[in-house]
C-alpha cells in the first residue's frame, strides 16, 4: 500500500459482509458446529455445545412470543454476566425483539429514564448483583407489581412496562421466572418463530445501548443485525479466530465489548464463549484461562493490570493463550510488554471505537510491532472508512490533529427517538463524528490524542461530566458545579467536582457523595470534591476546565498514567 497523502483510510477487504440476521446466522452456526463447545459459564456450571445452546435459545424465543411480544418491541436486560444473558441476546434476535442493554450499575433514576425513553414492554432482570438489589429496585419504581398478575403490570412511573422476568429460583409477585418462559410456548409459537426467520431483515434494529449524554441524559444508540453481526465477525477475523479458539470474556455483556466483540465474534467463528465469573475478578479470570485452556482474553487495561499484579500470578498455567483485545482506554507500554511476555499473548491487539459504531472502527493487527500496538489504535477495519478533519470539515494531512470520523456498515441507525442528536452525530454523507481528536499516519494508523468535549474515561467507562453536573444541580445547596477528569494510576482518570454553594450554605464531601449514592452509578460519583467561590473563566465567560484539571493535579500531587 502506498503512503497516504491525506488522513483518509478505507479497510478494503476481499471478504464480503454477512447479509443475514443474527437468528439466521445462529441457526447456520449450530448446524455447522453443533457438537463443539459454545458456552461455558464457570460460576453457573453451564457447559453447552452449539446444539444445546440452540435448544435453550429457541425455547426461550418461542416463550417470549407466547407472552404476546411482537417484533420491534423493546425488551430490557439488567444483569451481570451469566448464561441467561447469552440466551436472551440470541433469543430476542430470533424473535425480532430489540434488546435494550441496561448498565448493571444503574440506579433508580437511570433505570426509570432508560425504560421510558425507549418504551420497554418487557424487562429481564437478575435478582441482585454486588450492592444492587434489582428486584427491590423494580418494586420501588413499580410498586403496583406486588398486586399484578405476571405479564399484566400497569405502573404509573413505567407506563409501557408489562412483563418482568426474573432470573433465579426465588419467586416474586407479579414477575415470571426465567425458567418458566420456555414452558409457555405451544406449537403455534414455535411455528411463529420459524416464520419470523423468513420475515426479519438484517437492517432491522435489534439492540439499543445507552451512552452517556453530554446534555445529562443517556442516548440510546440503535444498532441493527447488520451492524453488530458483521462487527463481531471482522473483530474475530482481526485476531485470527477459528472454531478451535476459546475466548475468556470477563468484560460486561451489557457493553458492545462483551456482547459483540465477545459473543458475536465467537458465534461467527464457531469458537467457545467462556465467562469466568459474574463480574471481573482477576483470580476467576486466571483460573478460567488455565482450566478451560483459553486461547484468547479480552479486557480493559485495568483488568490486565489486576491479573498481572495477582499475588499468585506465577502459579497459573497460561500456556494456551495466544491473542486477545485490549480496549476501553489507552494501554501503558509496560503493561503491553508484560501481557505479551508473561501472559503468552504475542498476538494481542488494540481496538478503538464507540457504541455508535458497533463498536470497533480501528484495530491493530496481530503481527503489528509493539510500537504500533501501544502507540496507535490500528487501521480501519474491513469495509470501514475513516478520516481526520479540521474545524472546517476538511481532511487534514497525515500527522495533523483533527476529529476522527468513521463511515460504513458499522454506523448505528441513530439515537432512539432523538433525530436532533442523531443529526449532530451523523452527517449528510453518513460519517459518524466521534468527538475524539486524533491523528492518522501515512500508513493509515490512527492515534487518539484527546477529546473534543471533556468526556472522562474511568476504567474503560465513558463518563460525561455534564451528566453528573446536571444531577448535582438538583442538590438544594448547590449553586453551580463543574466536573473534570483528573489522572489516576489505577483507573486512568477519576472525577473531580468543583462546587459553588448558595450563599450561607455549608456542606462537606460526605454529604455530596451521599446525595449521589444509590441514584447514579458508582463510577459516576466524583472521587474528589472541592468547594470554591468561583471557576477559572475566559474573558468571554467560558469555564476553563483544563485550568481546573491542572490545579487539581498540582494540589493532589497526581501523576498522569504513563502511556506510549
Give the model confidence (pLDDT) of 82-129 as tens digits. 999 999 999 999 999 999 999 998 999 999 999 999 999 999 999 999
Q: Are 134 and 78 in contact (CB under 8 A)?
A: yes
Q: How far is CA 114 from CA 212, 217, 219, in A?
A: 11, 9, 9
Instruction: Using alpha carbons, select from 238, 263, 230, 228 the residue that is nearest to residue 248.
Output: 263
Residues 176 and 166: beta-carbon distance below 8 Å: yes
According to the model, what pLDDT value does residue 564 have? Answer: 41
Q: How many residues does the chain have?
A: 564
Q: Map residue 83 onto helix, strand or coil.
A: helix
- Cβ–Cβ < 8 Å for 426, 432: yes
pLDDT surpassing 80 at residue 458: yes
pTM for the full predicted model: 0.85
Instruction: Check pLDDT > 50 for residue 215.
Output: no
- The pair phi, psi for residue 438, each rounded to 5°, is -160, 180
In the predicted model, what is the mean pLDDT of residues 13-38?
Answer: 98
Task: List, as one string, the DSSP characters of 428-447.
Answer: TTS-EEEEEEEEE-TTS-EE
Domains of the chain: 50-219 (3.40.50.980), 467-556 (3.30.300.30)
C-alpha cell at 319: 500456556
CA–CA distance, 438 with 415 (Å, rounded to integer): 24
Q: Which long-range contacts (CB under 8 A, 24 or more apart) does 554-557 make?
A: 556/486, 556/528
538: confidence class by pLDDT, cuts 50, 70, 90:
low
| Average pLDDT estimate for 339-345 | 97
CA 243 from centroid of its chain's CA atoms? 25
What confidence category does residue 1 fall into, taking pLDDT thresholds of 50, 70 and 90? Answer: low
Predicted confidence at residue 562, as pLDDT, reads 52
pLDDT at position 216 is 57
Residues 6+ apart with CB under 8 A from 408: 11, 361, 383, 384, 385
C-alpha cell at 561: 498514567
Lowest mean pLDDT among 94-108, 183-197, 385-399, 461-475: 461-475
On the question of pLDDT at 541 being above 70, the answer is: no
Task: Report the distance separating Cα 262 and Cα 59, nearest Å.
Answer: 23
Phi, psi of 8 (to 5 degrees): -140, 135
pLDDT at 213 over 80: no
The angle formed by the CA atoms of residues 145, 147 and 153, to the nearest 5 degrees, is 40
Which range in 47-61, 329-343, 479-493, 532-546 is most confidently predicted, on average pLDDT?
47-61
Give the residue-averaged pLDDT of 196-222.
Answer: 87
93 with 45: CB under 8 angstroms? no
Q: Are 555 and 325 within 8 A, CB to CB?
A: no
Q: What is the pLDDT of residue 285?
A: 98
pLDDT at 561: 59
Q: What is the pLDDT of residue 539?
A: 52
Q: Are 168 and 127 in contact (CB under 8 A)?
A: yes
Question: Looking at residue 130, what is its pLDDT?
Answer: 92
Q: Residue 248: CA atoms inside 13 Å, Cβ hemisphere, count?
A: 35
pLDDT over 80 (residue 452) = no
Q: Mind listing the pLDDT tens digit for each residue in 280-289?
A: 999 999 999 9
The pLDDT of residue 17 is above 50: yes
Answer positive or negative: Cα dihedral of 432, 433, 435, 437. positive
Q: Where are any strands of DSSP class E within 189-308?
A: 205-211, 219-224, 246-248, 272-275, 296-299
Other Cβ atoms less than 10 A from the Cβ of 13: the count is 13
Range scoring the smallest mean pLDDT among 95-99, 138-142, 329-333, 508-512: 329-333
At 480 the three-state DSSP class reads: strand
For position 65, what pLDDT does the model report?
Answer: 98
- Going by pLDDT thresholds of 50, 70 and 90, the confidence category of residue 212 is low
Report the distance separating Cα 155 and Cα 51, nearest Å: 39
pLDDT of residue 457: 86
Average pLDDT value for the chain: 94
pLDDT digits 0-9 by tens, 228-283: 999 999 999 999 999 999 999 999 999 999 999 999 999 999 999 999 999 999 99
Helix, strand, coil distribution of the chain in percent, nearest 5: 35, 25, 40
The C-alpha atoms of residue 212 and residue 466 are separated, in whole angstroms, by 9
What is the percent of the chain where pLDDT is above 90? 83
Tell me the CA distances in angstroms from 524 to 68, 178, 406, one per residue in order: 37, 31, 28
Overall average pLDDT of the 124-141 stretch: 97
d(C-alpha 272, C-alpha 194), whole Å: 26
What does the pLDDT read at residue 23? 98
Selected residue with higher pLDDT from 334 and 483: 483
8 A C-beta contact, residue 148 and residue 162 = no
Q: To 5 degrees, how large is the angle CA 195–CA 196–CA 199?
A: 105
Which residues have a Cβ under 8 Å from the Cβ of 199 and sit 6 or more positions away?
A: 71, 96
Amino acid at each position: 500500500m502506498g503512503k497516504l497523502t491525506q488522513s483518509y483510510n478505507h479497510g478494503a477487504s476481499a471478504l464480503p459482509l454477512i447479509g443475514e440476521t443474527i437468528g439466521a446466522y445462529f441457526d447456520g452456526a449450530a448446524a455447522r458446529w453443533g457438537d463443539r463447545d459454545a458456552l461455558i459459564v464457570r460460576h453457573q456450571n453451564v457447559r453447552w455445545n452449539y446444539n444445546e445452546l440452540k435448544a435453550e435459545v429457541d425455547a426461550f424465543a418461542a416463550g417470549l412470543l407466547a407472552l404476546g411480544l411482537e417484533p420491534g418491541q423493546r425488551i430490557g436486560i439488567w444483569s451481570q454476566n451469566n448464561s441467561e444473558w447469552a440466551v436472551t441476546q440470541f433469543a430476542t434476535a430470533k424473535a425480532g425483539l430489540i434488546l435494550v442493554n441496561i448498565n448493571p450499575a444503574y440506579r433508580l433514576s437511570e433505570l426509570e429514564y432508560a425504560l421510558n425513553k425507549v418504551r420497554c414492554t418487557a424487562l429481564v432482570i437478575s435478582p441482585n448483583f454486588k450492592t444492587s438489589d434489582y428486584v427491590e429496585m423494580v418494586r420501588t419504581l413499580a410498586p403496583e407489581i406486588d398486586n399484578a398478575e405476571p405479564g399484566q403490570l400497569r405502573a404509573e412511573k413505567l407506563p409501557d412496562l408489562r412483563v418482568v422476568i426474573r432470573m433465579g429460583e426465588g419467586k416474586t409477585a407479579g414477575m415470571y421466572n426465567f425458567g418458566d418462559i420456555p414452558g409457555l410456548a405451544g406449537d403455534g409459537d414455535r411455528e411463529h418463530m420459524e416464520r419470523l426467520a423468513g420475515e426479519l431483515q438484517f437492517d432491522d434494529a435489534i439492540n439499543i445501548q445507552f451512552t452517556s449524554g453530554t446534555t445529562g441524559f443517556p442516548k440510546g444508540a440503535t444498532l441493527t443485525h447488520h451492524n453488530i453481526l458483521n462487527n463481531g465477525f471482522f473483530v474475530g477475523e482481526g485476531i485470527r479466530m477459528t472454531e478451535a479458539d476459546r475466548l475468556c470474556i470477563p468484560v460486561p455483556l451489557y457493553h458492545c465489548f462483551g456482547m459483540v466483540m465477545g459473543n458475536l465474534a465467537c458465534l461467527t467463528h464457531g469458537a467457545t464463549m467462556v465467562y469466568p465469573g459474574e463480574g471481573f475478578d482477576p483470580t476467576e479470570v486466571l483460573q478460567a484461562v488455565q482450566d478451560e485452556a483459553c486461547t484468547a482474553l479480552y479486557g480493559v487495561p485495568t483488568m490486565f493490570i489486576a491479573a498481572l499484579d495477582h499475588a499468585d500470578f506465577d502459579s497459573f498455567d497460561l500456556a494456551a493463550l495466544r491473542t486477545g483485545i485490549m480496549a476501553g482506554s489507552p494501554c501503558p507500554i509496560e503493561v503491553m510488554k508484560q501481557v505479551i511476555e508473561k501472559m503468552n499473548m504475542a498476538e494481542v491487539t488494540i481496538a478503538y471505537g464507540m457504541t455508535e459504531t458497533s463498536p470497533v472502527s480501528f484495530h491493530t493487527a496481530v503481527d503489528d510491532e509493539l510500537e504500533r500496538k501501544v502507540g496507535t489504535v490500528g487501521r480501519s477495519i474491513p469495509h470501514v472508512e475513516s478520516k481526520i478533519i479540521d474545524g472546517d470539515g476538511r481532511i487534514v494531512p497525515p500527522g495533523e490533529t483533527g476529529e476522527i470520523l468513521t463511515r460504513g456498515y458499522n454506523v448505528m441507525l441513530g439515537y432512539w427517538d432523538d433525530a436532533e442528536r442523531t443529526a449532530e452525530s451523523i452527517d449528510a454523507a453518513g460519517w459518524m463524528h466521534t468527538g475524539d481528536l486524533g491523528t492518522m499516519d501515512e500508513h493509515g494508523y490512527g492515534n487518539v490524542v484527546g477529546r473534543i468535549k471533556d468526556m472522562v474515561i474511568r476504567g474503560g467507562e465513558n463518563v460525561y461530566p455534564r451528566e453528573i453536573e446536571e444531577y448535582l444541580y438538583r442538590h438544594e445547596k448547590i449553586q453551580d458545579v463543574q466536573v473534570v477528569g483528573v489522572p489516576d494510576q489505577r483507573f486512568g482518570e477519576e472525577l473531580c467536582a468543583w462546587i459553588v454553594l448558595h450563599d450561607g450554605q455549608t456542606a462537606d464531601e460526605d454529604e455530596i457523595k451521599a446525595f449521589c449514592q444509590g441514584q447514579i452509578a458508582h463510577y459516576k460519583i466524583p472521587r474528589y470534591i472541592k468547594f470554591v467561590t468561583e471557576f477559572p473563566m475566559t474573558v468571554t465567560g467560558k469555564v476553563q476546565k483544563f485550568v481546573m484539571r491542572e490545579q487539581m493535579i498540582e494540589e493532589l500531587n497526581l501523576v498522569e498514567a504513563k502511556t506510549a
